[in-house]
Amino acid sequence: MRAGALLAAAAALLAADEVPAGVVVRAGRLLADRCITCHGPERADGGIRLDRPLDLALVVTPRRPDSSHLIRLVTLGAGDALLMPPATAGPRLDAWEVELLRQWILLGADPFPAAPASR
């Protein structure tokens, strides 16, 4: 039921013309809110900056969410040391947020207009 609702919502998302840009912006906002403090201009934990396309390319396979390391990291078990964001940094991503990141990758994982400027 829940998975079905998610799929229906995802299909609805993809139905509208302007949506791909919306997915990119919202995925960028999500990463900016939950990830960039540790993986951005201030810090690059694990050696990764998620606001830089070259670093992103190491952890995302465009159009293939199931092959993308980033998706694996946000869906690990609660006790896993590599679960992102770490438990100390707030709640894990919910199903909607994971689905948003999957849609962004399915659409090609374009860089985020909403992320802090990379340098």
**Residue appearing with tokens 């139905």:** 15
Interaction between residue 28 and ligand HEC (CB under 6 A): no
Other C-beta atoms closer than 10 Å to the C-beta of 110 total 17
Interaction between residue 111 and ligand HEC (CB under 6 A): no
37: Cβ contacts below 8 Å, ≥ 6 apart: 43, 89
> Cβ 85 to ligand HEC, closest distance in Å?
4
Interaction between residue 37 and ligand HEC (CB under 6 A): yes
Q: For ligand HEC, give the closer residue by CB, 44 or 107.
A: 44
Q: What string marks each residue from 43 to 72 as x (binds ligand HEC by CB under 6 A) or -?
A: --xx-x----------x---------xx--
Q: What number of chain residues touch ligand HEC (CB under 6 A)?
A: 19
Interaction between residue 26 and ligand HEC (CB under 6 A): no
In whole angstroms, give the CA distance from residue 7 to residue 69: 22
Interaction between residue 100 and ligand HEC (CB under 6 A): no
**Residue appearing with tokens 């006790």:** 79
Which residue from 39, 11, 31, 38 is spatially nearest to 110, judged by alpha carbons? 31
**CA angle (91, 96, 101) in 5-degree steps:** 95
Binding site for ligand HEC (CB under 6 A): 34-35, 37-39, 45-46, 48, 59, 69-70, 73-74, 82, 84-86, 89, 93
